[in-house]
Amino acid sequence: MGKIESEVSSYYSKKIREHGPVPAGVDWNSEGSQQLRFEQLLKIVEPESDAFSLLDFGCGYGSLLNYMKERYESFTYQGYDISMPMIEEAKKSLGDTGWHTSLETLITQTYVVASGVFNVRQGIDDKEWRQYIADTLTQLDSLAIKGFAFNMLTSYSDKEKMRDYLFYSDPGEWFRFCKLNFSRNVALLHDYDLYEYTILVRK
């Protein structure tokens, strides 16, 4: 595990130990905002999909799986997180199968989604964090058959509410990055009343 991954793992492992398997345990404010994020990310799934597989990259304690069970009849789910305490919480409530803590064990899935994995950069400088994002997006692309989706905090946030340990980005920067590197079919969603945006990349 590299320096960045180690810091991210320590941060989220501390959160889940403090709060348990609730939105605060993955550093979100509320269940309502968490579900709103899920709604945006899952727009990557084609409406006519009868059956599909999905990798939840940075799955936390697996709350997306329960959200999906209420909305889809036929799918398979895999969850990946670098925080072992997160995966342990997921296994407690959702069973032992389908969880990963190593990139080497992941295989391609129909879709990949990543929620909140680019937010907490702590003391990492902008250049290094941007490279981390670019490298991770390339991983998501390699793991997705039909497409992937991710969210990031927006630079259009209210200045007085921004925190120095979080990373806020210009939506256009990463929209352009995805258009140039992954697909011509890219959507930017920035209309759902949170201080963030979601990008969908369809292959």
Q: What is the pLDDT of residue 47?
A: 85
How crowded is residue 200: how many other Cβ atoms within 10 Å of its Cβ?
23
Token pair belonging to 133: 């994002």
Q: Per residue in 45-89, pLDDT tens? A: 998 778 999 999 999 989 999 999 999 989 999 999 998 888 998
Domain count, the chain: 1
pLDDT at 44 over 80: yes
Q: Per residue in 160-198, pLDDT tens? A: 989 988 999 999 999 999 999 999 999 999 999 999 999
pLDDT at 106 over 60: yes
Q: What is the pLDDT of residue 85?
A: 86
Q: Whose CA is closest to 169, among 135, 119, 125?
A: 119
Residue 152: domain span: 3-202
User: Considering Cα of 112, then 33, then 67, then 202, what sign does the dihedral take?
Assistant: negative
- Stated as kind and residue range, the H or E segment containing 151 is strand 144-154
